[in-house]
Every structure is written in C-alpha cells, then in structure tokens.
Chain A
C-alpha cells in the first residue's frame, strides 16, 4: 500500500473522520445554497410556461430531483452498507445509517409533490401506476431499514442486519427504474432520456439538473451532520470524544 493510499484510509476511523466531516459540512451547505438559488431562479423565472400544462408543471423542478435522489441515496446507502459488511468497517455502516432518514424524506417528498402535480394534470391525487407504486415501495423499504436498525440494541448487529436488508432491497431499485418500460400505464414516459433527444426545453433540463445538484449537496451536508452525531453517540466511551471541545462545553 502506498503512502498516498494510507493517507486516505486514515479517514476510515471515526476519530479521524469526525473533524474532517466538521470541516466539509459548511462547504456543502454553501454549494447547496448556490445550486438552489440558481436552480430556483431558472425554474421559476427563466423556464417558459408549458404549452399544455401551464404554470403547474413547475413542480417537476422539485418532484423529479427528489425522485432521483430517493433512488440514488438508496444505492449509496446500500453501497456503504455493503462496504461495512464486507470489510467490517464501522464508519461505513454509520454512513449507511445516517443516509436512511434523508432518503426516506426524499421518497416522501417525491410522493407528496407527485400528488400535487397529479391533481391538476390527471385530475387525481394518486394513481396506481407502476412508478408511483414503486416509489411507495422504496419509501417502505427505507422505513423497514430504519425500524430494523432501531429495534436491535447491539449497534454492530444492527449494522449488519440492516446491510443485508439494504442489499436485498437494492434488487428493487432497478425494478423501479425500468418499471416504466415494463408496465405502460397512465404515467408519462421518462422525462429525461439519454438516448433520445430531450423532449423538453434546455432551460427546463438545466433547472432540473441544478435542483438535483442542490438536493445532492443538501443530502451530503445533512448526512455528514448526522454521521457526526452517530459517531459521538457510539464512541461516547472513548477518550478522544471526552477530550472534544464541544463535548466538554
């Protein structure tokens, strides 16, 4: 192992990661604010009114990024859980645990804004379409992960059990994504496609991408804040935690 690699692996220890996370959090909050300001400005003032859907369509600037993030966070969470399970790395499992509530929030927001969008567009709050349903399942998976971890007292066992559940659930995420092609129902096709030319104006695409970046940075900032709290909670017995300025105060 080279010296460079060793330097990075150092941060796998909670003691080394705790101050690093503390330094990173403000950076990610600034990025959140910047992307959010530009994204909201683009989506509310620059993006043109949709010819068929009017002003109401603007909720997609929140709806689509939250849906993306809810799926993406699940993958990241399962990835951290897998690392934690295979290398027995404590910090990785803590990362997985800290991401779950944010992911659940994103899934909930996606369902909520979807209902707000569905009412004026389809005339109904909820339809039993494949994508809505699988987003709901994703929300349930987050809840299952969190309640399984909460109900096991030994944190290491909770980490491992949660990791297995997350990896089993990860099979569900591709099903969510490809469900649109599998069951063709009321929901319109994927609004952003890599293979076809985008069916929407470029400004709309930019608005959505910037909002997605904003939520991404937000998730990192919140995740790091939460992982710091988890580190403090689990390492409360150690000497270095007792020596911390904020713990002493």
Chain B
C-alpha cells in the first residue's frame, strides 16, 4: 500500500517537473473540441446534439496521448525492472502508476469539460451529468489503457498499435458516457447509463491492474 502511494507521488513529481507534456494533452482536447463547431457550423441545436459524443471522443483521444508514457520512460532507463524485482507486489506499483496517469490526464479533462460544454450550448444540468460521466469513465480509460501500454512496451510501432488495441475496448465507455448526457438531454434521466459506467469502473478496477501487471512481466522477460 505504502509503495503504491510512493509510486503515485513519484510519478506526479516527475510530471510536475516537466509540465509541458500534460498541458499538451489538455490543449489537444480543447483544440480538437473547438474544431468541430468550425467544421460543422455554428447552429446551436445541432451543436447541442453532437456535444456529448464530440466531447467524449476527444477525451478518448486525449487520454491516448499520454498512455505510452505510462511505462515507456521507466522501461527505457531500467527503473521498471527494479520495480519488478522489488519486494512489494508489482501490482500495487502498477495501481500507483495508473492512478498518477488518471490524475494527470483524466482529471484535467473532467474539470475542463464544462467550459467546452458551454461552447456547445449545454445547460447547467447537462454539464453536471457530463462531468459525472467523465468522472466515472476516465478512470476506466486509464485502467484499460494501462493494459495496452504494457502490452506494446518496447514493440515496433508501439504508438499506432496501442491505439488499435485500446480504442475498440474503449467503445463501451464511449457509448454509456455519451449516452448518459444524451438521455439526460432527451429527458429520460441518466441514471441507467451512469450505473453501467460505474459497473464498468468496478470491473476495470478489479481486473485491469492484474492484466497490466501480467503484460508488464511478459515485456520484462
């Protein structure tokens, strides 16, 4: 447990020393979201309709940007091998790294989303649902992404391959996340979708760290 917090703190510290990488992913999210109205046209009704999907797809892509970094630098300088042979179970360290990735790339998206939602003419309640859905959904993205990042560690063309492996697995999150906001706007209530998102989160928290750890061990063999 202690090792988990230590890894989390260390990863956050590493990121704070070089802020530009985090900010790049965040600006990517903002810019891509802002491009859609320019491409589609400024009609508020249409924008309100596409807002949940656009924001979620952009969040998915922005999360993808940081995934490769999760293990790559530590793998390159040998830190990861030291972690693997340390007395603490590797899975706690992986949980710490996933947590750090979410705090760095998931949480800023959650906080930024309402501002972008305003651009798309969403009302206050819909913004609340959007934030809640992102809050439940982005940790799942980090957890599943960790498996992909571990599998493609040190592999030729890892970056492109990573998106090929991970994006199909993200689809349920996208469907329920965007569906929550859409059904709220349609007046159906977002409860069902949010519950399913929470179920996905529980499932991912339980299984993903183990799968990612197993994948890391294979990569380190």
A residues neighboring B (CB under 8 Å)? 133, 137, 140-141, 143-144, 147-148, 151-153, 157, 160-161, 164-165, 167-169, 171-172, 175
Contact = CB atoms under 8 A, between A and B. Distances in A.
B155 A151 contact: yes
Contacts of B167: 140
Interface string B27-62: 000000000000000000000000000000000000
Contact of A164 (B155, B172, B214): B214
B13 interface: no
Contact of B151 (A137, A148, A172, A175): A148
A215 B135 CA distance: 45
A161 to B, nearest CB: 5
A151 B156 contact: yes
B53 to A, nearest CB: 11
Contacts of A161: 151, 215, 218-219
B147 A157 contact: no
B168 interface: yes
A204 to B, nearest CB: 32
A148 B154 CA distance: 12
B188 interface: no
Contact of A157 (B164, B168, B171, B218): B218
Nearest to B210: A164
A168 B161 CA distance: 16
Contact of B161 (A141, A151, A153, A175): A151
B77 interface: no
Nearest to B214: A164
B20 to A, nearest CB: 29
Given A147-B164, A161-B151, A171-B203, 13 more contacts: A140-B164, A140-B167, A143-B164, A144-B165, A147-B161, A151-B157, A151-B161, A161-B218, A161-B219, A164-B215, A168-B144, A168-B169, A175-B172
Given A147-B164, A157-B218, A167-B211, A172 B147 contact: no
18 contacts: A133-B171, A137-B171, A140-B167, A140-B168, A141-B168, A143-B164, A144-B168, A148-B165, A151-B156, A152-B155, A153-B156, A157-B219, A164-B215, A168-B144, A168-B147, A168-B169, A169-B168, A171-B203
Interface string B141-175: 00010010001100111000100110111011000
A26 B17 CA distance: 65
A174 to B, nearest CB: 12
A165 B211 CA distance: 9
Nearest to B153: A161
B137 to A, nearest CB: 16
- Chain A binding surface, main DSSP class: helix
A5 B218 CA distance: 31
A175 B221 CA distance: 33
A164 B211 CA distance: 7
A180 to B, nearest CB: 15
Contacts of A147: 161, 164
Nearest to A175: B172
A152 B151 CA distance: 10
Contacts of A164: 147, 151, 211, 214-215, 218
Nearest to B166: A144
A148 B152 contact: yes
Contacts of B218: 157, 160-161, 164
A169 B170 CA distance: 11
A169 B171 CA distance: 12
Given A161-B215, A175-B172, A144 B155 contact: no
A54 B214 CA distance: 53
A160 B153 CA distance: 13
B151 to A, nearest CB: 5
B161 A157 contact: no
B168 A148 contact: no
A169 B151 contact: no
Contacts of B168: 137, 140-141, 144, 169, 172
B172 A157 contact: no
A175 B196 CA distance: 12
